[in-house]
């Protein structure tokens, strides 16, 4: 849980952002990366309010001791202000720093994005713009250095297992048959194997895997492996799915087919999808909205609403509107590359 604290002195008001997860008392704090937490719709807590006994935090040598329990209570009281009703996923001011050769550099800087319920959102950008890092953070594999992540309108610190995540590699386990690979997510949640298998078998045909239930993954073609990985991702029926370049390994013909198939499926599922890709055509064809990101550090450069009618058809790729959108996005990407050089 991240907490905003404001302090006042003669020079003015200062805001601090503190992570109070599992801490009983705070000894250090960092200055907020955002100048004003109100931009996030959250009221900062006055430092004095956190230390009811003395009326103010005991400040000493730049470190401070506060009553965390009361701080948590305050945040809980403010909770209604935090809930953003419509957004399934909201990334608010997320930055990620990493160390390389002993030097700190920013992978993501102040990334803000959201995805509403039932929305198909894409992230495109040059390689090295931290797209995969961002998905790792949303999935909970990684934590942001600063900023907050909201899932279903709630601040989600421990979020592993709440969103479905399909990585670039299909990661089918070679010792499990296709059917047993597909039910992995359900199995880990304690669903009985028999029930999980029945559920999966019902979907095998829709995913073009009928007849391959007992086959081992190495016997499958690339497209089938990808579909099996996708079935494994959606079977636990989470609200949000993150797809990290899932079609990267497929050839153009297979891709076009799987795009149409995916859209058909998505329309029946009513789920939120966040797709990462470097293919502009793919992003336009599939998405409701897409974010163009810059490289090193990754930032959101452009948000583009794709107002092509649904259902999308393959012919739309050559329509004037599609081409205009593509030109605009390519220009944005090129500009980014030029700035990089």
Partner 1 sequence: MRTPDRATPVAEQPAMAPPAAPYTGRLRRLTGSWVPAALIVLMLLGVWEGYVRLWAVPKWLLPAPSLIAMTLVVSWELLLDHTLVTLLEVVVGFGLSLLGGVALACGIAASRTLERALYPFVIASQMVPIIVIAPLLLIWVGYGLTPKVIVVALTAFFPIVVNMVDGLKSVDPDAVNLLRTMGARRWQIFVKVQVPTSLPFLFSGLRVAMAVSVIGAVIGEWMGSSQGLGYLMIRSKPQFLTERVFAAIVVLSAMGVALFVLVGVIEKLAIPWWHNEQRQRSLSQEE
Residues that bind partner 1 (CB under 8 A): 139-141, 160-165, 167, 169, 171, 173-175, 184-185, 187-189, 216, 218-219, 236
Report, in Å, the least distance between residue 185 CB and partner 1. 5
Comparing CB distances to partner 1, the nearer of 63 and 219 is 219
CB closer to partner 1 out of 29 and 165: 165
**Structure-block tokens of residue 325:** 């959108």
Give the shortest CB-236-to-partner 1 separation in angstroms.
Answer: 7
For residue 175, what are the contacts with CB-CB under 8 A and spacing of at least 6? 216
Q: How far is the CB of 182 from partner 1 (least distance, A)?
A: 12
233 vs 304, which CB is nearer to partner 1?
233
C-alpha span between 195 and 137 (Å, rounded) = 32
Q: What angle do CA 67, 68, 73 make, to 5 degrees?
A: 105
Q: How far is the CB of 228 from partner 1 (least distance, A)?
A: 13
Half-sphere exposure of 2 (CA within 13 A, CB side): 27
* Least distance CB 241 / partner 1 (angstroms): 11
Residue nearer to partner 1 on the CB measure, 15 or 216: 216
Q: Is 4 exposed, middle or buried (0-12, 13-18, 19+ CB in 10 A)?
A: buried
Instruction: State both tokens at 10.
Output: 């003669």
Residue 314 · residue 264 · CB < 8 Å: no
| CB half-sphere exposure, 138, CA atoms < 13 A | 33
Output 16 or 150, the one with its CB closest to partner 1: 150
């Amino acid at each position: 849980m991240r907490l905003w604290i404001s302090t006042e002195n003669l020079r003015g008001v200062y805001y601090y952002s503190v992570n109070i997860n599992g801490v009983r008392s705070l000894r250090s704090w960092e200055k907020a990366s955002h100048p004003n937490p109100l931009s996030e719709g959250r009221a900062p807590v006055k430092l004095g309010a956190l230390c009811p006994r003395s009326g103010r935090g005991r400040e000493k040598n730049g470190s401070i001791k506060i009553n965390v329990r009361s701080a948590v209570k305050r945040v809980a009281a403010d909770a209604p202000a935090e809930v953003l009703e419509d957004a399934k996923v909201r990334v608010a001011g997320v930055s990620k720093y990493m160390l390389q050769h002993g030097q700190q550099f920013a992978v993501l800087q102040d990334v803000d994005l959201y995805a509403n319920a039932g929305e198909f959102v894409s992230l495109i950008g040059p390689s090295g713009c931290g797209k995969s890092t961002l998905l790792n953070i949303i999935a909970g594999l990684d934590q942001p250095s600063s900023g907050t992540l909201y899932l279903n309108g709630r601040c989600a610190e421990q979020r592993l297992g709440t969103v479905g995540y399909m990585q670039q590699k299909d990661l089918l386990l070679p010792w499990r048959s296709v059917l047993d690979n597909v039910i992995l997510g359900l199995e880990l949640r304690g669903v009985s194997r028999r029930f999980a298998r029945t559920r999966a078998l019902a979907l095998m045909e829709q995913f073009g895997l009928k007849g391959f239930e007992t086959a081992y993954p190495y016997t499958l073609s690339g497209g089938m492996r990808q579909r099996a990985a996708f079935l494994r991702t959606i079977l636990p029926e989470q609200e949000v799915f993150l797809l990290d370049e899932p079609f990267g390994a497929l050839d153009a013909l297979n891709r076009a087919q799987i795009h149409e198939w995916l859209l058909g499926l998505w329309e029946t599922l009513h789920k939120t999808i966040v797709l990462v890709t470097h293919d502009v055509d793919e992003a336009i064809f599939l998405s409701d909205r897409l974010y163009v990101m810059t490289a090193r550090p990754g930032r959101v450069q452009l948000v583009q609403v794709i107002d092509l009618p649904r259902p999308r058809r393959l012919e739309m790729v050559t329509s004037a509107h599609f081409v205009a959108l593509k030109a605009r996005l390519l220009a944005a990407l090129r500009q980014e590359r030029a700035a990089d050089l």
